[in-house]
Amino acid sequence: MSIKLIQDRLNSYNCRSELEEEHAIREITQEVALAALGRTNFFKQAVFQGGTCLRIFYGLNRFSEDLDFILQKPDRSFTLESYLSVLSEELKAYGYNIEITDRSRAETNVRKAFIKDDSVGKVLQVKHMGKTIPFRKIRIKFEVDTNPPSGSGRQVNYLDFPFVSSVTTQDLPSLFAGKIHALLSREYTKGRDWYDFIWYTGRKTGINYAFLASALKQQGPWQGKELNVNKEWCIKALRDKICCLNWQETKDEIRRFIRQNELSSVELWDKELFLDRLEKYALKIS
């Protein structure tokens, strides 16, 4: 019965390529993992954030690879061990042959583990995977920041698959603030960041300036600085960033995370497009 639930879920994606099928199986695995965590006290301590959160709970259209969390309150003694055991047992019940590796180190703030499986794709009825190249392991990085920036908002959302469960997530203004921090501070080009930027600005999402200011002070080129982070500061910083990016690299990075019918839109990406989106967004928010 459990593997049938996974099969039915996969069929609902109507995948058109091997890559889409791989992303779909990874996302289904992420949902099972989140539901398993919902059976524990994990979400009394932690908050779900990042691209996978945005996709599963807020409707972002691109695929995402990782499960990212922050603690509600800093706690350097936090460990993953008991939660990884629950994840392993739950995923095995759904037909997975799970390998979980805890890569956490006591001297770092981020607790990190990797969830890997090379079996579930072989027992599912797939249309594309394994036809031209061997099955690849499904790999999900699981991270918890034990010393997060202050000021994040949160709310409770609900998963329907594989069973009803509650998940504490960041609210949208805090998620957007975290994304702006990544846009401004990341040392390499990541097209997924700019795909998300289009999504947020198109929905006129507000910005949690307090959370953004705390994140900028904690990490990145403004580390340790007291900034007056407001609308004007954000728009100027984003404008400067847009003007200095290599847009070909940005387009190349996003392609493997979106469906085929969106590829033509990505070809429009350039400095002028993103400056236009930024200026229109600036006129609509406070």
Residues 133-174: tens digit of each pLDDT: 677 788 999 999 999 999 999 999 999 999 999 999 999 999
Going by pLDDT thresholds of 50, 70 and 90, the confidence category of residue 37 is: very high
Model pLDDT, residue 7: 93
Indicate the average pLDDT of the chain. 94
Q: How many domains does the chain have?
A: 2
Distance, in Å, from the CA atom of 38 to the CA atom of 165, rounded to the nearest integer, reads: 6
- Whether 163 and 180 share a structural domain: no
> Which of 120, 144, 170 is the C-terminal boundary of a domain?
170
Going by pLDDT thresholds of 50, 70 and 90, the confidence category of residue 120 is: confident
- Whether 74 and 182 share a structural domain: no
CB of 102 closer than 8 Å to CB of 80: yes
Model pLDDT, residue 1: 53
For the chain, list the strands marked E by DSSP.
46-49, 67-71, 98-102, 110-117, 138-145, 154-159, 165-170
Query: What pTM did the predictor assign?
Result: 0.94
Average pLDDT over residues 247-264: 94
pLDDT at 60 over 80: yes
- Whether 189 and 151 share a structural domain: no
> Which of 170, 190, 211 is the C-terminal boundary of a domain?
170
Distance, in Å, from the CA atom of 95 to the CA atom of 93, rounded to the nearest integer, reads: 6
- Whether 20 and 116 share a structural domain: yes
> Which of 144, 170, 196 is the C-terminal boundary of a domain?
170
CA 22 to chain centre: 16
Q: What is the CATH number of the domain that holds 88?
A: 3.10.450.620
- Whether 263 and 166 share a structural domain: no
Model pLDDT, residue 211: 98
- Whether 33 and 116 share a structural domain: yes
- Whether 114 and 210 share a structural domain: no
The backbone torsions φ and ψ at residue 111, rounded to the nearest 5 degrees and listed phi first, read: -85, 130
pLDDT at 215 over 90: yes
Going by pLDDT thresholds of 50, 70 and 90, the confidence category of residue 229 is: very high
- Whether 56 and 195 share a structural domain: no
- Whether 160 and 198 share a structural domain: no
Integer angstrom CA distances of residue 58 from 99, 207, 212: 29, 16, 20
- Whether 183 and 102 share a structural domain: no
- Whether 144 and 28 share a structural domain: yes
Domain around 123: 2-170
Q: What is the DSSP letter of 102?
A: E
